[in-house]
Structure 1
Amino acid sequence: MSKQQVREQFGANAAAYVASPTHAQGASLGWLVARVAPQAGWRVLDVATAAGHAALALAPHVAAVVGLDLTPEMLPLAAGLAAERGLGNLAFTVGDVEALPFDGGAFDAVTCRIAPHHFPDVDRFIAEAARVLRPGGVLAVVDNVVPGSRLRGKRANAQREAGDYVNAFEKLRDPSHVRCLSHEEWLDALVAAGLTVEAQETQDKRLTFETWAARHTPEMQTRLRVLLTQAPAAAAEFLDPQSGSGLTTFRLREGLFVARKNGMP
């Protein structure tokens, strides 16, 4: 899917992100603020800001927040939420995470929440985030992660295959999905960019299948349900589908990472 197609898809669904429970209220929102430990004089960049939920959570603690998103339709919604909350230290701009329109060293922190699985080139995003950070600044990322392993052998191969399966499941539901990395891949990518990982953890979240798949036709919902309920063993262990009270739930996992740019402030 091209970036123009991504803009069109997210533009058409922009309003849904204002009230989306995963984006507006997820547990990782509080984790992000706590781990970043924002300071009063900071200038923060929140990339792929969408409806601005992470930017809004950080704004009361810092001097200024810039929210950047590829989709223009998102930004008036984010600005509207900021106005509703009486926050005057936010600005929103259109831009590409792979070519950030800012000078090097412009920010004390860069944040990105539940978005990198839509990026064509995660390594380029990390490199750009590192570029616009001041020495000693922090990059904080939250994103869905899939099973993976650095090891060899049958069990490691099964974990990587499970990761591929979960990505295929997600992509069928959402064509703008590019790829979730594994926890191990995130750590390796951050280190490869010259950053020092200071915090890392995972949090599980349960989604209701019927809500998650609601945008699709009954035929597509059936295909997705079959993928969920008939997943191979390692993928099924990760997704953990459960049925009850007429609804089906399943598990996804978020990885949470804070990495620091080397050098003195």
Structure 2
Amino acid sequence: MDGLKALNRQQFGTYAEAYVQSPDHAWSESLDRLVELADPQPHWEVLDVATGGGHTALALAPRVRRVIATDLAPAMVQAAARHATERGVTNVTFAVADAEALPFPDASFDLVTCRVAPHHFPDVARFVREAVRVVRPGGLVAVIDNVVPEDRAVAEYVNAFEKVHDPSHHWAYSLDDWTRFFQDAGLTVEWVETFQKERDLETWARRSGASNLTLATLRQLVLEAPPAVQAWLKPRAEAGHIRFTLTEGLLMGRRPAAHDD
């Protein structure tokens, strides 16, 4: 899977500034909900894994003591750090790190977050175990990511569609999959919620560097999808543009307190 990680570094390094500036990444209903549910406290130390443009880290920073924001792509880290500096944020530290091998001691953080990134990870279960390792007993792990339905055929089609859009995409999982990842790693699942996010096909594709041929392929895949896939992606034409819907899942789990272990 080292090849996939190299592809991730290349993809997000090449288009780092586009992800920093992307309105779709800068804000979402699910991000607001994550902050609300986590209820971060002023003394907290937070880790944001695969930070991308740093938007989750920056949303949490005013409420906590410190945020460490990591990403696999050095150029992405540099772009996010510049963005934080431009906004005058001083309590976020950016670092290059692998989500599946976090370079932090056990029980270092009160909250570990990861937003719209795990579908790029080769081994999501390993990432969740690492998140649990570095969070303190009683602390929270919160993940937001694209999800797919339980129907295997639909899941495979949607993932293939995503991979045409971005070759560094690995696999988007179902909510049941995510619940198992959390529980298998020892987390008590406290919250599961889904959100619909509408996308303009061309804007979504171009942000990842899609060529005209790739855009045409994506258009065909979404408009000619089987009925069950169309029911999930909800493609429609509006004012000459093709729009569709992705589904995000938000999961929050708590590492049992020491006396609960």
Same fold? TM cut 0.5: yes
| Cα distance in structure 2, aligned partners of 1:219 and 1:86 | 41
How far 1:245 moved relative to its partner?
0.7
How far 1:264 moved relative to its partner?
4.0
SS of the aligned residue for 2:40 comes to: coil
Q: Deviation digits for residues 132-172 of structure 1, max 9, x if unmatched? A: 01100100000000111xxxxxxxxxx22101110000001
Structure 1 partner of 2:235 = 241
Q: Quote the RMSD (CA, aligned, Å).
A: 1.2
Structure 2 partner of 1:153 = none
| Cα distance in structure 2, aligned partners of 1:216 and 1:43 | 38
Aligned match for 1:166, one of 140, 148, 158: 158
SS of the aligned residue for 2:9 comes to: helix
Q: Deviation digits for residues 45-92 of structure 1, max 9, x if unmatched? A: 000011110000001000110001101111222222222222211111
SS of the aligned residue for 1:178 comes to: coil
Structure 2 partner of 1:208 = 200
TM-score by length of 2: 0.95
How far 1:128 moved relative to its partner?
0.2
| Cα distance in structure 2, aligned partners of 1:27 and 1:109 | 19
| Cα distance in structure 1, aligned partners of 2:43 and 2:210 | 45
Structure 2 partner of 1:117 = 119
How far 1:32 moved relative to its partner?
1.5
Identity of aligned residues (%): 50
| Cα distance in structure 2, aligned partners of 1:213 and 1:49 | 20
SS of the aligned residue for 1:213 comes to: helix
| Unmatched 5+ stretches in structure 2 | none
Structure 1 partner of 2:71 = 69
| Unmatched 5+ stretches in structure 1 | 149-158
82-91 or 48-57, which moves further after superposition? 82-91
Q: Deviation digits for residues 18-52 of structure 1, max 9, x if unmatched? A: 11122112222211211111011000000001111
Misfit runs of 4+, over 4 Å = none
The answer to whether 1:221 aligns with 2:221 is no
The answer to whether 1:179 aligns with 2:171 is yes
| Cα distance in structure 1, aligned partners of 2:166 and 2:74 | 20
| Cα distance in structure 2, aligned partners of 1:206 and 1:27 | 12
Structure 2 partner of 1:91 = 93
